[in-house]
Amino acid sequence: MIESRNRNLLVSAAAGSGKTAVLVERIIRMISQGDNPLDIDQLLVMTFTNAAAAEMRERIGEAVEEKLKEHPEDEHLWLQAALIPQAQITTIDSFCLNLIRNHYNSLDIDPAFRVGDEGELSLLRNDVMGGMLEACYEENRPEFARFVEQFGRGKSDKGIEDVIFQLWEFSQSHPWPMEWLAKCRMELYKEELGEIEESAWMKFLMRDVAAQMEELAGQVEEALLVCREEKGPLAYEPMLMSDKAKLEAVKRGALGKF
Ligand SMILES: Nc1ncnc2c1ncn2[C@@H]1O[C@H](COP(=O)(O)OP(=O)(O)OP(=O)(O)O)[C@@H](O)[C@H]1O
Ligand SMILES: [Mg+2]
């Protein structure tokens, strides 16, 4: 693991088991071994939190110092020690922010941009949502009317706003949200073409329905056993039999769909 190069590598191990130690060692070897060792500022080291980035920088610094004790004549190592403060050891957020700051002109955005805080963003989102719904009501397409009918709760738009935000947030966790949404749209479009039963999620749903029916039928079966016990509530038997038959019919129907 410490030696492998030029490929993706996932290091997964228990807390405190030495993951960071492995990563630090990999970096130290990259900047100290071979004929042409790298410079530390040629590497990009990204972490989730500021604390993790600080820990990483400190541990790389300590490791370089250890190496220097062994090889005080190594000029490349001295250079690394000097480069560490400006090495790209940063959180994902600050790396992205830097990238945008340095290239705002090619991105066509205001150079005075800043990162919004959660409260501001929430206000902005609500503004956009309000404006968008208003435009949709105005346009009044039948699809939209059906959507409101289906997801709206009474007079409030809360229900449909929740559904839209939920979908939007979920889409944002995909690397290409718009493409993902377009794919979902295609899947739904198939419904109109009668191919919906072929879609992966419909097959999943049907399998899930079948499994749930089986579980419920099993429970009814147990209730039947109780009914038939001596002095049991036998009056429930016909109703339970009928319930069981219905559950099994739904299960067969779902199974027949995939
Ligand atoms: N091979 C090793 N031999 C001896 N001690 C080690 C070894 N690897 C790591 N350690 C020590 O174990 C402790 C935890 O290591 P490290 O911080 O690398 O773990 P981690 O998996 O990154 O932990 P966390 O899940 O908290 O991030 C440190 O004090 C480290 O010095
Ligand atoms: Mg760690």
**Beta carbons of 45 and 90 less than 8 angstroms apart:** yes
Q: How far is the CA of 62 from the centre of ligand 1 (A)?
A: 14
203 Cβ contact partners less than 8 Å away, ≥ 6 residues apart: 197, 257, 258
Alpha helices in 103-157 (DSSP H): 104-107, 118-139, 142-151
Is the Cβ atom of 20 under 6 angstroms away from ligand 1?
yes
Angle (nearest 5°) at CA 168 between 126 and 173: 130
CATH of the domain at 96: 3.40.50.300
Q: Is residue 215 one of the residues assigned to a domain? A: yes
Is the Cβ atom of 14 under 6 angstroms away from ligand 1?
no
Q: How many residues does the chain have?
A: 258
b/e per residue 231-257 (b: at least 16 CB within 10 A): eeeeeeeeebeebbeebeeebeebeeb
Residues 25 and 102 in one domain: yes
Residues 39 and 96 in one domain: yes
Q: Which atom of ligand 1 is nearest to the CA of 13?
A: 21
b/e per residue 143-173 (b: at least 16 CB within 10 A): eeeeeeeeebeeeebeebbeebeeeeeeeee
Q: How far is the CA of 15 from the centre of ligand 1 (A)?
A: 9
Ligand nearest to the CA of 22: 1
Q: How far is CA 46 from the centre of its chain?
A: 18
Residue 238 token pair: 């016909």
Is the Cβ atom of 19 under 6 angstroms away from ligand 1?
yes
Is the Cβ atom of 58 under 6 angstroms away from ligand 1?
no
Residues 95 and 23 in one domain: yes
Residue 44 lies in domain: 19-107
Query: Best mutation site among 12, 20, 58 for ligand 1, i.e. most ligand atoms within 8 A of its Cβ?
Result: 20
Q: Whose CA is nearest to atom 3 of ligand 1?
A: 18
Helix (H, G, I), strand (E, B) or coil at 83: helix
Residues 130 and 95 in one domain: no
13 Cβ contact partners less than 8 Å away, ≥ 6 residues apart: 19
Cβ-based neighbour number of residue 5 at 10 Å? 8
Residues 80 and 34 in one domain: yes
Q: Which atom of ligand 1 is nearest to the CA of 23?
A: 18
Each residue's pLDDT, cut to its tens digit, for the chain (258 residues) gives 778 888 899 999 999 999 999 999 999 999 998 888 999 999 999 999 999 999 999 999 999 999 999 999 999 999 999 999 999 999 999 999 999 999 988 988 888 888 899 999 999 999 999 999 999 999 999 999 999 998 888 778 888 999 999 999 999 999 999 999 999 888 878 777 777 777 777 889 999 999 999 999 999 999 999 999 999 899 999 999 999 999 999 999 988 865
Q: Is residue 246 one of the residues assigned to a domain? A: yes
Residues 126 and 97 in one domain: no
Q: Cα separation of 80 and 60, whole Å? A: 10
Residues 202 and 166 in one domain: no
Single pTM value for the model: 0.61
The number of domains in the chain is 3
